[in-house]
Amino acid sequence: MSVSSLSGLWFGLALPAIVLLYLLKRHYIDTVVPSHLLWNRVLRESEANRPWQKLRSSLLLLLQLLVAALIVFALLRPYASSGANPDRPLIVVLDRSASMEAAYDNGGSGGRAGSQTSLLDEAVRRIGQYVREQPTGRPVTIVTAGTEPDVIVARETNRSAIDNALKQTAIDYGRIAYKETLSLASALSRDSAQAEVRLYTDGRWTEAATGIAFPSGIETIVLRPAYEGNVGIAQFGANARAGASATDAVAVLYNSGLAVAEIDVTLAAADGQTFDSRRETIQPGERKTVQFHDLPHVDTYRLTIATGGDAFAFDNVTYAKAARDEQAAVRALLVGPGNLFLEQALRLAGADVVKASGGGKTPLGAVPQTNVDLVVVDSVDSAPLSAAPWKELLARKPVWYVNAGTETGAGAGEETPTTAMPGAAYEIADHPVMQYLKLADTHISRLLQVDPSRLGWSERETIVSAGGLPLIVAGAADGQRRLLFAFDLHQSDLPLRSEFPILVHHAAHWLLEGRQQDLGRIVAGSRLDMAPSADAADASWLPLGAPGNRAAAAVSAIVRGGAPALSQQAPLVPGLYAYEQRDAAGRAVSRAVAEIVADPREAAQAAANDPLATAGRHGGGNEATRSDAQHDAAADSRLHSLIPWIALFALLLLYAEWGVYRRGSALR
């Protein structure tokens, strides 16, 4: 038998208080009074009242002290263990996603020393406590959910080794492999039909994890953060005005909570020099645009917000590299009958636009002699582009097809059939072109009937679809990236949406990725292609020295065969980094700046859900989900609370006390 809380000992002060009441009780001496006329005089005699007498044996006093002692014992939340099978394996799944960084609502108790108490801290504490309560020799396996599932201990019986492994766990800010982690736990539980599986999480899952079975069931403990609402930075960008010595910046802030948020906004250079500081008020559910004007020119700007009652801190800092109009190095060739929306959006994305008329009833002219970095083909069929000069140009440049007949599977001279837009919701894949975009309430009239398998590309991926019909397809051909919008921009309201300039910027940046020195925003732990320089022998991610930058140490890049590998992994900790390649003598040969961010989907989850509803209720039929308020030692499946029995015994004592009081009997 054990107890869950010692705070109830404060109620133990009631025991001496009861004794004190009996000491101060007015006791009267039996006095013979010859006449009732003398009553008043007897009552006035002080010697008849003796409050500080020696305690006499009293059954009422004993019963009251016993009831008070039972109440104190109940407040300690005692429980008794039925005794776990020492041979039954225990499998613990620990969620260490970015949302587990949220503050826990216990006021700071139970956290690891030297750090603020977070949901992860509380989960680690509870796991350690639960493991210590198990029989000696019971094997324990702990699986953590990160960008990849990680078994930190496997069938371990040494409690010190388990504690040390738990202390090493840290937040993973990347895209969490929820389904893969649960699948691994399920596979481990199949080794023993009696395995106990426990999941510690905040329930803010960003992907479905259906069809996973646990032979003996799974118990989930859902931890509740101190604040449900979140305030963060949705977007931030800066642009240097051409011919001017100042820069303008714009940020979009959001408040997903239910209360008004007062936010302190600070704009500074990445090296710490503050340019602007102000306070903004954001209503619940509001997205507010904040503008900054006449800023001094710096390479990178840092935007920071601070507020009380914020659930997550990882979306409170962001960076932006100023795009300079006068230094625009990207030149885009826009081929088509003319599209003002697309042309202006390309210019906003920092591209110099060169136009080539053609499409519709206008014949396509000769290939422009101007050197271009990107070709955008808008509403031009396959026949004019099949000419040798155009075909050669398209083969050696990144190409963006918008409502274009070529590359859609139709033969030369054939018109690609169209179909009405289905009334289904958009299905958006995780792709850089669609980062932070939802296409909410965007209407499209008709689509090209595109068969991605007939595109003739070496790589292809449908990144936006509706009702099984592809809307946007990304891929590669001839070593160059390709992007296809299978609809006419003039037959949709997408160009009128605020997301359109962002979409065009993402599309152009993705098509030209690797050519520019600004890598933009990268989700922590993501895989990305980094073209190695010819003379590079080594490379690393270097944190840029900026106050508030979480990046604390350099991260070595992947090196194979004496040169940096093409496929690299982004750092695991958010912050501002420079990817620097060095030659054999240690001299830097290239340098590109990147902002490493936490998975934005973690902050987008409005509230915790039922993880078992996500995972699917399969297995032994004893799945259970406990909220943070419900979880304590007495609520555990094998730790039985003694409070109901204490309450029953206390009621019996109160009944006995009432009987003693009614009869006036006492022990003398």
| Band (280; pLDDT cuts 50, 70, 90) | very high
C-alpha 51: how far from chain center: 65
3-class secondary-structure state, position 618: coil
Question: d(Cα 488, Cα 494) in Å, to the nearest integer?
Answer: 10
- Cα distances from 239 to residues 205, 304, 380, 437, in angstroms, run 36, 18, 33, 21
pLDDT value of residue 514: 41
Question: d(Cα 374, Cα 329) in Å, to the nearest integer?
Answer: 11
Minimum mean pLDDT range among 250-259, 475-484, 495-504, 575-584? 475-484
Residue 293 has pLDDT above 50, yes or no: yes
**Averaged pLDDT of the chain:** 79
pLDDT value of residue 80: 65
Q: In terms of pLDDT, which residue wins out, 543 or 641?
A: 543
pLDDT value of residue 162: 95
pLDDT value of residue 264: 94
| Band (176; pLDDT cuts 50, 70, 90) | very high
Residue 39 has pLDDT above 70, yes or no: no
382-406 pLDDT per residue, tens:
777 778 888 878 877 889 999 875 5
| Band (516; pLDDT cuts 50, 70, 90) | very low
Q: In terms of pLDDT, which residue wins out, 121 or 309?
A: 121
Average pLDDT for residues 402-420, to the nearest whole number?
Answer: 64
3-state secondary structure 190-226: CCCCCCEEEEEECCCCCCCCCCCCECCCCEEEECCEC
576-601 pLDDT per residue, tens:
898 988 888 787 777 788 889 998 88
pLDDT value of residue 651: 77
**205 near 107, Cβ under 8 Å?**
no
Minimum mean pLDDT range among 33-42, 290-299, 423-432, 556-565? 33-42
Minimum mean pLDDT range among 97-111, 151-165, 293-307, 625-639? 625-639
**542 near 580, Cβ under 8 Å?**
yes
pLDDT value of residue 82: 55
Which amino acid does the sequence have at 289?
Answer: T
Q: In terms of pLDDT, which residue wins out, 479 or 142?
A: 142
pLDDT value of residue 40: 65
Average pLDDT for residues 620-641, to the nearest whole number?
Answer: 46
Q: In terms of pLDDT, which residue wins out, 3 or 62?
A: 62
| Band (611; pLDDT cuts 50, 70, 90) | low
Neighbouring residues of 510: CB distance < 8 A, sequence distance ≥ 6: 432, 433, 474, 481, 483
Beta bridge partners of 641: 79
pLDDT value of residue 299: 73
Average pLDDT for residues 541-569, to the nearest whole number?
Answer: 82
Average pLDDT for residues 638-643, to the nearest whole number?
Answer: 65
| Band (4; pLDDT cuts 50, 70, 90) | low
Please, what is the end-to-end C-alpha distance for the chain in angstroms? 37
Q: Report the alpha-carbon angle 459-462-464, nearest 5.
A: 150
Residue 100 has pLDDT above 80, yes or no: yes
Q: In terms of pLDDT, which residue wins out, 589 or 148?
A: 148
Residue 217: CA count within 13 A, CB half-sphere: 9
| Band (529; pLDDT cuts 50, 70, 90) | confident
* Sign of the torsion angle spanned by Cα atoms 108, 114, 119, 121: negative
pLDDT value of residue 615: 46
Question: d(Cα 316, Cα 294) in Å, to the nearest integer?
Answer: 23
- Cα distances from 212 to residues 8, 218, 518, 609, 650, in angstroms, run 42, 11, 41, 17, 46
Minimum mean pLDDT range among 13-27, 85-99, 181-195, 239-253? 13-27
Average pLDDT for residues 444-454, to the nearest whole number?
Answer: 85
C-alpha 505: how far from chain center: 25
Find tokens 């790589």 and name the residue: 459
Average pLDDT for residues 531-550, to the nearest whole number?
Answer: 78
Q: What is the secondary structure of 372-440 as a DSSP string?
A: -SEEEEES--HHHHTSHHHHHHHHTS-EEEES-STTTTPPTTPPPPEEEPPSSPEEE-S-GGGTT---T
Q: Domains, the chain, ranges and CATH?
A: 2-80+643-663 (no CATH), 83-227+621-637 (3.40.50.410), 231-325 (2.60.40.10), 330-511 (3.40.50.880), 518-597 (2.60.40)
Minimum mean pLDDT range among 150-154, 165-169, 453-457, 483-487? 453-457
Residue 149 has pLDDT above 90, yes or no: yes
Find tokens 């929820």 and name the residue: 178
In percent, how much of the chain has pLDDT > 70? Answer: 76
Beta bridge partners of 301: 269, 320
Q: What is the secondary structure of 111-147 as a DSSP string?
A: PPTTS--BHHHHHHHHHHHHHHTSPTT--EEEEEESS
Minimum mean pLDDT range among 379-383, 528-532, 563-567? 379-383
pLDDT value of residue 548: 58
Which amino acid does the sequence have at 178?
Answer: Y
Is the pTM higher than 0.75? The answer reads no
Question: d(Cα 504, Cα 485) in Å, to the nearest integer?
Answer: 11
Q: Report the alpha-carbon angle 366-371-372, nearest 5.
A: 90
| Band (47; pLDDT cuts 50, 70, 90) | very low
Residue 641 has pLDDT above 80, yes or no: no
Q: In terms of pLDDT, which residue wins out, 10 or 171?
A: 171
Report for 542-551, 591-600, 627-636: range of highest mean pLDDT: 591-600
pLDDT value of residue 610: 56
Question: d(Cα 579, Cα 531) in Å, to the nearest integer?
Answer: 11
Q: Which of 423, 427, 382 is nearest to 401 (CA)?
A: 382
Report for 20-24, 210-214, 550-554: range of highest mean pLDDT: 210-214
Report for 215-224, 239-248, 362-371, 489-498: range of highest mean pLDDT: 489-498
Size of the chain in residues: 668
Q: In terms of pLDDT, which residue wins out, 370 or 580?
A: 580
